[in-house]
């Protein structure tokens, strides 16, 4: 399994990395339920409902070790706080089994596009990089404002790790709202597939 056919677009969707932000599961479900004709012929679609399975079961942001997996990735990892803090980054970069598994998986899969779902800031951060137009189009298709999320410490972030490690790959966070309106999960599912066709 590797992305060695340039005509194929490998798309990876991660529904849940913060275990108490579960709306991405509905987007994954919509993608899974899609008729083959609704998926662009050049797309290989990989669905990961939850990277943080323990957090999902416990309805907790962190994993079972109390680590915020979205601060644990090995690009510009930095120590954040202590066990018990909402953004605890773990003892070292990629200290957590979930992070290690994701690093190995991405190394093998080499997705062209990876979308990570979160809640509930209802936004997508703008980019000044090569994925600027992709994010703008995603925002247009879904109605998400193009705005950054204030108030956190953004080291060891999974989406950033992926795009900085594999510079040909597009990887961004989608912050859904606190809940999904009727039809909104399908709108996001379609947007993921749509922007896969305009990657830089």
Which CB sits closer to Zn ion, 118 or 188?
A: 118
Closest residue to Zn ion: CB criterion: 118
Contact window for Zn ion (CB under 5 A) among 44-52, 87-95, 114-122, 135-143: 114-122
Q: How far is the CB of 153 from Zn ion (least distance, A)?
A: 13
Cβ proximity of 53 and 46 under 8 Å? no
Residues 11-30 that bind Zn ion (CB under 5 A): 18, 21
Cβ proximity of 88 and 67 under 8 Å? yes
Identify the residue among 71, 118, 163, 188 touching Zn ion (CB under 5 A): 118
Q: How far is the CB of 10 from Zn ion (least distance, A)?
A: 24
Residues linked to residue 48 through DSSP beta bridges, in sequence order: 14
Q: Which residues contact 107 (CB under 8 A, 6 or more apart)?
A: none
- Between the alpha carbon of residue 163 and those of residues 66, 91, 103, 144, 146, the distances in Å are 26, 23, 12, 21, 19
Interacting residues with Zn ion (CB under 5 A):
18, 21, 118
């Amino acid at each position: 399994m590797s992305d060695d056919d340039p005509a194929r677009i490998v798309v990876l969707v991660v529904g849940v990395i913060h275990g108490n932000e579960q709306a991405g599961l509905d987007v994954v479900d919509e993608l899974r339920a899609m008729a083959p004709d609704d998926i662009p012929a050049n797309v290989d679609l990989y669905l990961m409902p939850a990277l943080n399975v323990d957090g999902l079961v416990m309805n907790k942001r962190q994993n079972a070790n109390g680590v915020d997996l979205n601060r644990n990735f090995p690009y510009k990892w930095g120590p954040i706080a202590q066990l018990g803090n909402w953004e605890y980054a773990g003892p070292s970069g990629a200290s957590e089994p979930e992070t290690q598994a994701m690093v190995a998986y991405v190394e093998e899969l080499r997705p062209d596009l990876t979308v990570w779902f979160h809640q509930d800031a209802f936004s997508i951060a703008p980019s000044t990089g090569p994925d600027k137009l992709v994010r703008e189009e995603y925002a247009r298709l879904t109605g998400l404002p193009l705005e950054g999320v204030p108030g956190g410490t953004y080291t060891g972030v999974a989406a950033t790790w992926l795009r900085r490690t594999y510079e040909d790959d597009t990887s961004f966070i989608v912050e859904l709202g606190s809940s999904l309106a009727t039809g909104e999960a399908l709108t996001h599912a379609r947007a993921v597939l749509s922007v896969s066709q305009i990657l830089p």
